[in-house]
Amino acid sequence: MPHRISVMLDACPNDLGAVDRNKLAECIAACFQCAQACTACVDACLGEDMVADLTTCIRTCPNCADICAATGNAVSRQTGTNAGITRAVLEACRQCETACKELLAALA
Amino acid sequence: MPHRISVMLDACPNDLGAVDRNKLAECIAACFQCAQACTACVDACLGEDMVADLTTCIRTCPNCADICAATGNAVSRQTGTNAGITRAVLEACRQCETACKELLAALA
Amino acid sequence: MPHRISVMLDACPNDLGAVDRNKLAECIAACFQCAQACTACVDACLGEDMVADLTTCIRTCPNCADICAATGNAVSRQTGTNAGITRAVLEACRQCETACKELLAALA
Amino acid sequence: MPHRISVMLDACPNDLGAVDRNKLAECIAACFQCAQACTACVDACLGEDMVADLTTCIRTCPNCADICAATGNAVSRQTGTNAGITRAVLEACRQCETACKELLAALA
């Protein structure tokens, strides 16, 4: 996926300033990979016999999916003037990462 | 819309603890109203003759729409254990509010 | 919600042609109400003791929520030239309605 | 991206029946790649001097992005019982493809 993202970034006439295009493409790809994995995780949880024990995960993952997708969209838009929005939504991603790590630790 | 949201909240067997159900329903409704208004704002901007002068607004609004929708979903899910995610995504909403106010001030 | 949607529609310089603005505002509002109700329904199901019996609903509702939100966005954009897209996504909504009715009938 | 999607598919206890897992993973990946490309396309259009001539593309692409993301989510959920929803949202994707091809042809 990063390759196709890079093709679009290179087609974009906006000046990206000091932003590293490779890192940006990887970041965008990671956002959508996380979103998809969270959505798939819910589906996998719902297939387990112990589904009643997995409701916290089933509730948390859609939040992570929504937030990661919104972040992937936000970083796909070269809105240089909205550093505040970008930073805030990336911080929300980090909170999702923390929540997912806690869920995994609780399962182990 | 808050009325229908309240009906669903009342149907939910989860204990909401100290959360004020009316305020929660208003918060959820406000998130989706903001999301829709931002999406409609882009469309209105694209209909203006001076569209070339409105590109910052056209770029910022979809971020706000995505973030407000993700927040409306997150607060619709009574995931009491993820205060960190909820707080972070609400802070992202606040950054959107700031960005929208700056855009409106620049237009006035 | 329809009132605020109408305010944005009236602010939009695009010619809506023969489209009834009140009906359009109601349609947009209904899309987001459905999306929110489906998201809230999943959360309510996850709070039930019989969660293992509700997995079909928990899996179907997020699809309906995503599709209704995408439709609400699409009809918020006055893209007169894409009748094909609008019709197809509205048909997807109708499939969601059918699926929800079947789920409700199975519960009754 | 398809590799990680496959890892999640293999972790899922649901029986996929006659569905080809590799094709499914490619389909899911393609949905999110399309969604991201459409979002990036809007941003690139907004950077062009001739932005006023690109408003149809700027309006159509967010619909395609929303619909492709909703479809990527729907096919990530192994909701075997909702063939009607899956078919309808895939048909909406096809309408997006047609619209994008017409836009590209008009630009050429």
Tens digits of residue pLDDT in D13-68: 878 888 888 999 999 999 999 999 999 999 999 999 999 999 999 999 999 999 99
Contact A14 D43 (CB under 8 A): yes
Amino acid, res. C72: G
pLDDT in tens, A20-68: 889 999 999 999 999 999 999 999 999 999 999 999 999 999 999 999 9
* Contact in structure between B1 and B31 (CB atoms under 8 Å): no
Q: Which of D66, D86, D100, D103 to mutate to test the interface with C (most CBs of C within 10 A)?
A: D66
CA D74 – CA D69 distance, rounded (Å): 9
Contact D65 A77 (CB under 8 A): no
Please tell me the pTM assigned to this model.
Answer: 0.94
| pLDDT of C80 above 70 | no
Q: Which residues in chain B are contacts of C43 at CB distance < 8 A?
A: 12, 14, 76-79
**pLDDT score of B94:** 95
Tokens linked to B38:
């931002």
Q: Which of C12, C42, C79 to mutate to test the interface with D (most CBs of D within 10 A)?
A: C79
pLDDT in tens, A83-99: 899 999 999 999 999 99
Quickly tell me which residue has 């290179």 as its tokens: A10
**pLDDT score of D79:** 61
Q: What is the largest CA-CA distance in chain A?
A: 52
CA distances from C70 to A90, B48, D93 (A): 23, 24, 12
